[in-house]
Chains A and B, each alone.
Chain A
Amino acid sequence: MFGPGDDVLVKNDWPERRGPAHIRTPYYVRGVRGKVVRHLGDFPNPEDLAFGRPADARPLYHVAFDRHAIWQEPAGDDELLVEIFGHWLERP
């Protein structure tokens, strides 16, 4: 489990390359560092749900990303806030 303020790294994984997949983690944050804002709740894993498989509840987090970390363009301190499942997050 992660808590508010934890530094996290989104897994640089590409299940789409290995076969049919339904992934809710956007491409642009894979392999990018962010910070957990809060735990939003636990929800059935969409990666199983989409294929009609039994889906266990997984923690879902709101993770903030500095826009500089994703695109090297001037953006002040603008940020992106993205919902990401716990199994996509690692400790950097």
Chain B
Amino acid sequence: MSILDTESERLLAAVRDLLAQKGIASATEIADRIAVTDAANPGQGARMVAKAWVDPAYRARMLQDGTKAAEEVGIPMRGMPPLGVLEDTADQHNLVVCTLCSCYPRAVLGYPPFWYKSSAYRARAVRDPRGLLASEWKTVIPATVKLRVVDSTADYRWMVLPLRPAGTDGWTEAQLAGIVREGDMIGVTIPAVR
């Protein structure tokens, strides 16, 4: 049987037809949204982080309103949930999880990594975050640094603005963006010069 003959594909086609017939969403609008969703990737969030590292005024705007800061660098945010930005400091590290399901800042990071939705990550992130980071990512948060776990439970989406690593003085924004990984913006890893 072809995949186009499956129940789920027929159901999808029926829902699409109904959305168009009722004037809720046209085929073009659905295609546009799929294109925007597929185009989103961690490189977009990395560009925001790099800009915040070199431009204090942008950093302030990003912490105030992540959605506007994303739009400022050309990331489409229309119809997306509001984006909040969590600032890492020398005294505090942030870790994002969604214990209820899979809330994730897709507009700026793309599809979540497979483990983000796993029961194990969701449970351990709130119960034993330091142990989770150390055992799965070799990320050791010093005892002097407070760990703040942000459970993304409702209408906001959250990304982490990590600390700029040592050894990057004089780097361009593009060079800096190149070292920011998906995990750095979730808080499971820390940007480093490799």
Q: Which residues of A contact B (CB under 8 A)?
A: 24-26, 28, 40-41, 43, 46, 60, 64, 67, 70-71, 73, 75-85
Q: Which residue of B lies closest to A71 (CB)?
A: B127
The contact size tier of chain B is 20 to 34
| Known A26-B100, A41-B82: A78·B153 in contact at CB below 8 Å | no
B148 within 8 A of A: yes
A83 adjacent to B155 (CB under 8 Å):
yes
A78 adjacent to B154 (CB under 8 Å):
no
Give the contacts of B128-160 with A (CB-CB under 8 A).
128-130, 143, 146-156
B143 adjacent to A78 (CB under 8 Å):
no
A78 adjacent to B82 (CB under 8 Å):
no
B154 adjacent to A24 (CB under 8 Å):
yes
B179 within 8 A of A: no
A79 adjacent to B149 (CB under 8 Å):
yes
Give the contacts of B46-102 with A (CB-CB under 8 A).
82, 84, 99-100
A83 adjacent to B99 (CB under 8 Å):
no
* Complex CA distance for A77 and B147, rounded to whole angstroms: 8
* Complex CA distance for A52 and B128, rounded to whole angstroms: 37
* Complex CA distance for A79 and B86, rounded to whole angstroms: 14
Q: Which residues of B contact A (CB under 8 A)?
A: 82, 84, 99-100, 126-130, 143, 146-156
* Complex CA distance for A25 and B100, rounded to whole angstroms: 9
Most interface-central of B84, B126, B146 (chain A CB within 10 A): B126
A81 adjacent to B154 (CB under 8 Å):
no
* Complex CA distance for A84 and B99, rounded to whole angstroms: 13
* Complex CA distance for A79 and B95, rounded to whole angstroms: 11
Q: Which residue of A lies closest to B128 (CB)?
A: A73
- Residues of chain B contacted by A80 (CB below 8 angstroms): 126, 148-151
Q: Which residue of A lies closest to B81 (CB)?
A: A43
The smallest C-beta distance from B152 to any residue of chain A, in angstroms, reads 7
* Complex CA distance for A75 and B149, rounded to whole angstroms: 12
- Residues of chain A contacted by B148 (CB below 8 angstroms): 64, 78-81
| Known A24-B100, A41-B82, A79-B149: A85·B129 in contact at CB below 8 Å | no
A26 CB contact (under 8 Å) in B143, B151, B156: B151
9 new A-B contacts at CB < 8 Å, known A26-B153, A79-B148, A84-B153: A41-B82, A60-B155, A60-B156, A76-B143, A76-B147, A77-B146, A81-B150, A83-B154, A83-B156
| Known A24-B100, A26-B100, A41-B82: A78·B155 in contact at CB below 8 Å | no
| Known A24-B100, A76-B143, A78-B147: A41·B153 in contact at CB below 8 Å | no
